[in-house]
Amino acid sequence: MAVHAHPDDESSKGAATMARYVAEGVDVMVVSCTGGERGDVLNPKLQHDPEVERDIVGYRRKEMAEAVRILGVQHRWLGFVDSGLPEGDPLPPLPDGCFALEPLDIAAAPLVRLVREFRPHVMTTYDEDGGYPHPDHIMCHRVSLEAFEAAGDPDRYVGHGQVPWSPLKLYYNQTFSRAKITTYHQALLDAGAESPFAEWMERWEERAERAVTTRVPVAEHLETADRALLAHATQVDPDGMWFSVPAETRRRIWPTEEFELARSLVGGPVAGPAGSPVDEADLEDDLFAGVREHLAQGGAA
């Protein structure tokens, strides 16, 4: 179960990993906490399009349905309202009724229900900083952690799902690690091309690098992830940053997607404080490492 804040997040963060597991016969569910109602139209080709502006909610739902089809995953909406990304100094208050302002027990309850119904062995979400400090990404982290820890407790969230269920592992998606983006940046420079990552890399000086515990090989599934991301046409410029490094080059220089193991009931290299490196020899190459062995031995969640 991959829990994301908005439609399109699932296709830009860990999509190739999901495509790989779908191809292997794993049941995969994407959960979108909000409908992305307050997201701007980021594709310059569709900006100021009156039809898009008139029905951005409908467009984002159709885009999400196409991405889900391409990835081959199941999908559920939690039904909360996008908080928007506040800008200005000082920052304006968040709008009433938005996802980030919901009480934690109210926001987590539908996810607890989904966990108990879908019964995932592994969950993925964002770290406590949200991957980047969007209020919905931070809230997504909070509700995911709450659901991971509470869904197996019969005394919590009574009435939200029939049978308690404890997932075995929780990962934070680290798709945009500093090492990965630096490698992309250098590859573009070496090819004599302009890199769109320079400004992004400068901003990293303001925050510590997260630990990586798990590198999932996904070379064969990068094109599927690209097609899913392109399905979010209002959000993604096909000539923009996301596609500046061709899939063929990415397969050669960085054929993995990265995760940070945050919680585990079956062992594994759980990261220490943010930035603490994990020895290369201890890195996992499978989100289900330890899970498969646990289930083969008759274990249950």
CA distance 108 to 95: 19
How many CB atoms within 10 Å of residue 198?
Answer: 11
Please tell me the distance from the alpha carbon of residue 109 to that of residue 142, in angstroms, as a whole number.
12
Q: What is the 3-state secondary structure (H, E, C) of 86-107?
A: CCCCCCCCCCCCEHHHCCHHHH
Mean pLDDT value of segment 127-155: 95
The pLDDT of residue 207 is 66
Q: List Cα–Cα distances, 153 to 149, 208, 257, 283, in angstroms.
A: 8, 34, 32, 30
Dist CA 207 CA 226 (whole Å)? 28
| Predicted confidence band of residue 195 (pLDDT cuts 50, 70, 90) | very high
Tell me the pLDDT tens digit for each residue of 27-59.
999 999 999 998 889 899 999 889 888 899 999
d(CA 170, CA 23): 21
Cα–Cα distances (Å) from 72 to 13, 241, 244, in that order, read: 16, 25, 25
- Report the alpha-carbon distance of residue 187 to residue 171 in Å, rounded: 28
Is the pLDDT higher at 39 or at 9?
Answer: 9
The pLDDT value given to residue 39: 84
Contact call for residues 79 and 33 (beta carbons, < 8 A): no
Residue labelled with tokens 């109602």: 37
**How does residue 200 score in pLDDT terms, banded at 50, 70 and 90?**
confident
Report the DSSP pairing between strands 214-217 and 2-4.
Answer: unpaired
Distance of CA 139 to the CA centre of its chain: 13
Q: What are phi and psi of 73, to 5 degrees?
A: -100, 165
Give yes or no for residue 121 having a pLDDT over 80: yes
- What's the confidence (pLDDT) of residue 100? 97
> Residue 300 — very low, low, confident or very high, per pLDDT cuts 50/70/90?
low
pLDDT of res. 271: 65
* pLDDT, mean of residues 116-131: 95
β-pairing, 256-264 vs 74-80, is unpaired
Closest by CA position to 139, among listed 104, 105, 164, 165: 104
pTM of the model: 0.94
